[in-house]
Structure formats: structure tokens, C-alpha cells
Amino acid sequence: MDRRYEAIIFDLDGVIVSTDRYHFLAWSQLAWQERIEFNEEINHRLRGVSRMESLEIILEKASKRYTPVEKLELAERKNEVYRGLLGDLTAGDMLPGVVDTLSALRERGHKIAIGSSSKNTPVILERIGLSGYFDAVADGNGIKHSKPDPEVFLLAAGRLGIPPEQCLVVEDAEAGVVAAKRGGMAAAAIGEARNCKEADYSLGSIADLLLYV
């Protein structure tokens, strides 16, 4: 079968699994403890962005200045709450259509990979039963620069051995769509990024991917 893209690289949080609500809960708790304003609009800016960069965005509303050591402590505190919430994660938290779409892509002969900013990627994949399922995993543990830098997607493509122009990235964050395009890849936007103008494709559901690959 003709393939337009040899490889499909999936963002994790917000594309494969609904961990985005756990990030929101964990950041909300930290912001409340520190008496910092936090809402859905600010949360939207955290999608696809690394933990420390997310913290910097939250601290824009803080009335006091934090030292680098205090910032590390805040990020660690948020991560502990987040990790606690991940304890409840199961395969049932995968977003609708994910399992069928991934297996259809494999049947058609595509390589599939994860490209996530999250350092918690290994534990998340294990909790949802997808450890070892992807042909390659690139995550926050292997990169210096997070989205919108293309590093994580280039790492995934390199691990697959597929040139960037033969890769399609699936993203729910504008930062991730921009990262894919900067890396010379095509981008399909879903969920909160759906109307992102830099994307090549807009997906109403993950199964729509099968129309374009």
C-alpha cells in the first residue's frame, strides 16, 4: 500500500492519554498553596512545554520572587502530586480511538513513535500498557530543549531511522505543531491545537489520521 508518511510520531499527553487533567490538578494545587492565580487560560499555555518552563509561566502571576533553589523545590512538589495522580492511570485513560488507530497504522506498515516533553513518559506508558509497543520513544529525559524546539521529534525520527520529511507528527499543543514544522516534518493537530494555522492537517478525532497517512 502507498504510504505518504513512513512514520507517525505521537505526542503523549493530550494525544494518547488524558494526563493533561492531572497536570492541571497538580499545578492548581501548587498555585493555590503559593497563593498564585491560575486558570484554564494559563494552563493552555503549559501544553507541550517542559516542567521548568511551565513553572516560569505560572510564576508570571506570583507576587514574590523565587530563587533558583526554591523554583526547583516547587517543580519537585508539583511532580510529586502529579506522580501520585498517575498511580490511578489505567489503559482506560487512553483517549478514544487510540488503540484501534495505532494498530491500523501498524497493519499498514507505518513505524510509530512517541515524541513527548514529559520526563514521566516511561511510567505513563507502563501504566497504560503500551511499554514496548512503539518502535521508538523520545521524551523529556533525552533532550535539552523542549517544544517548540524540534529536538524531541528529531530524536524520535533518528531512533526510527526515518528522514524528517517522511514523518508526520500528531500534536495537541501549538508548541508541538511549531516544533514539528521547524524539524521539517508534517504536523496533524488535534484537540486544543485543532485550529492551529501552522498544522498541515486538522483532526476531529485520532481515527481521522488514517485518511491522510
Tell me which residues are annotated as active site: 11, 13
Binds 49, which of Mg ion, ligand B16, none (CB < 5 to 8 A, cut-off by type)?
ligand B16
* Residue 149 binds Mg ion, judged by CB under 5 A: no
Q: Is the CB of 19 or the CB of 111 nearer to ligand B16?
A: 19
Tell me which residue has cell 498553596.
33
Q: How far is the CB of 115 from ligand B16 (least distance, A)?
A: 7
Q: Is the CB of 34 or the CB of 151 nearer to Mg ion?
A: 151
Grid coordinates representing 172? 495537541
Burial of 164 (0-12, 13-18, 19+ CB in 10 A): buried
Q: Is the Cβ–Cβ distance between 187 and 59 less than 8 Å? A: no
E strand or H helix at 194: none
Q: Is the Cβ–Cβ distance between 183 and 201 less than 8 Å? A: no
User: Where along the sequence are the contacts to ligand B16 (CB under 6 A)?
Assistant: 11-14, 23, 46-51, 54, 79, 116-120, 140, 173
Number of residues that bind Mg ion (CB under 5 A): 6
Q: How far is the CB of 81 from ligand B16 (least distance, A)?
A: 11
In 3-state terms, what secondary structure has residue 111? strand
Q: Which of 20, 47, 53, 57 is nearest to 174 (CA)?
A: 47
Q: How far is the CB of 46 from ligand B16 (least distance, A)?
A: 5
* Residue 14 binds Mg ion, judged by CB under 5 A: yes
Distance CA 19, CA 51 (A): 14
Quick one: which of 5, 9, 13, 160 contacts Mg ion (CB under 5 A)? 13
Binds 79, which of Mg ion, ligand B16, none (CB < 5 to 8 A, cut-off by type)?
ligand B16
Binds 124, which of ligand B16, Mg ion, none (CB < 5 to 8 A, cut-off by type)?
none
